[in-house]
Copies of this chain bind each other. A is one copy, B any other.
Amino acid sequence: MSTDTTSRSDTNNDTNRNGVDTATLFATLDAVKALPAAAQFQFRAHNEWQHGTHSRSTISDFFGVGEERAHEREFVFDADHPAVLVGQDRGVTPIEFVLHSLAACLTAGMANIAAARGVTLTEVRSTVTGDIDLNGILGLQPVRNGYQQVSVRFVVRGDAPEEVLRSVVEQSRQRSAVYDVITNGVPVDIEVEVA
């Protein structure tokens, strides 16, 4: 955290608080209010099996605001199991990415919500844990396959009273796409083409 108030005011003026371009954020909200269909998005991941439990996804193309789009570059992610789960540890396990996803979604929301409310954040850290009994996926005990409990611990610092900072976290939870998916579930359909 900088104590140089000059540089802080440079990066935290009213239109760029927390690194959020609030003018563009509000303009985007107004644009979607005027044209709700602009908010229909489709995100995509393309995965290819490598070897054993190792696979690799590329993420680039998506649809939004009425047209096909792409990230500025193609992002590539490996997933694998560690040796203790009979893999070669060439990436984190698939289920660990869910924890990263949740932390990142809540944190991005907090930056936006704080900026919109005129709150300057100086630190947001979190640890997300997921407890899982692998007897489920191993088919050995009648327990669920996935996490039994996920816990998020945030450390938040900013220029507002504690109750305001807590309300930023709470509003982010209420508007988080990943929190919704993880807590409420989503229908998944699977189609298979045998080549």
Contacts and interface: CB of A to CB of B under 8 A. Distances in A.
A99 B152 contact: no
A46 B24 CA distance: 30
A111 B137 CA distance: 14
A194 B156 contact: yes
Interface string A135-169: 11111110011111111111111000010011001
A182 B183 contact: no
Most central of A46, A72, A92 by chain B CB within 10 Å = A92
A96 B28 CA distance: 21
Most central of A75, A104, A191, A195 by chain B CB within 10 Å = A104
A10 interface: no
Contacts of A138: 29, 32, 39, 175
